[in-house]
Homo-oligomer: A and B are copies of this chain.
Amino acid sequence: MRPSIHHIAIAVRDMDAALALYGEALGLEVSARREVPEEGVEIAFLPAGDGEIELIRPLDTANSVARFLEKRGEGLHHICLKVANLEEALERLRRAGVRTIGEPRTSAAGTRYIFLHPLSTRGVLIELYEER
């Protein structure tokens, strides 16, 4: 199975204003909105076909999303591709010289995920997901 687009993540400073745009004005449905204090962010999900738009707002000034906003302003932050087998995908990527940010982690929902370093992926922060 080839990878598919799981989500597009957008960094925002003002979640209400972003939801007014992507929800009301663009017509996407907001399926969830919650704070994730352990990651220092508030997130909202808006399904869009097979994939979804994920809005991310930093809750403090210390994390990587806050630094992204400081440096580049609001905008496209990363894309996430769903793969069938994360270990196989990583083996192939590492052979091609792609570096990861740390090792794979498992979310509370059981999804295994990892970020690829944008300096090794031609400027795009790419997340890989393997759903279990």
Q: Which of A13-21, A58-66, A100-108 faces chain B?
A: A13-21
Given A4-B49, A17-B122, A25-B95, 15 additional A-B pairs, CB 8 A: A4-B50, A5-B53, A8-B8, A10-B122, A14-B122, A20-B96, A26-B89, A27-B92, A50-B51, A75-B118, A75-B122, A75-B123, A75-B124, A76-B123, A76-B124
**A-side interface residues toward B, CB under 8 Å?**
2-5, 8, 10, 12, 14, 17-18, 20-21, 24-29, 47-53, 72-76, 78-79, 81-83, 89, 92-93, 95-96, 98, 118, 121-124, 126
* Identical chains in the assembly: 2
A96 and B8 within 8 A (CB): no
- Give complex CA distance A10, B14 in Å: 25
CB distance from A31 to the nearest CB of B (A): 11
Known A-B contacts A48-B3, A49-B4; A10 and B82 likewise in contact (beta carbons under 8 Å) = no
B27 and A3 within 8 A (CB): yes
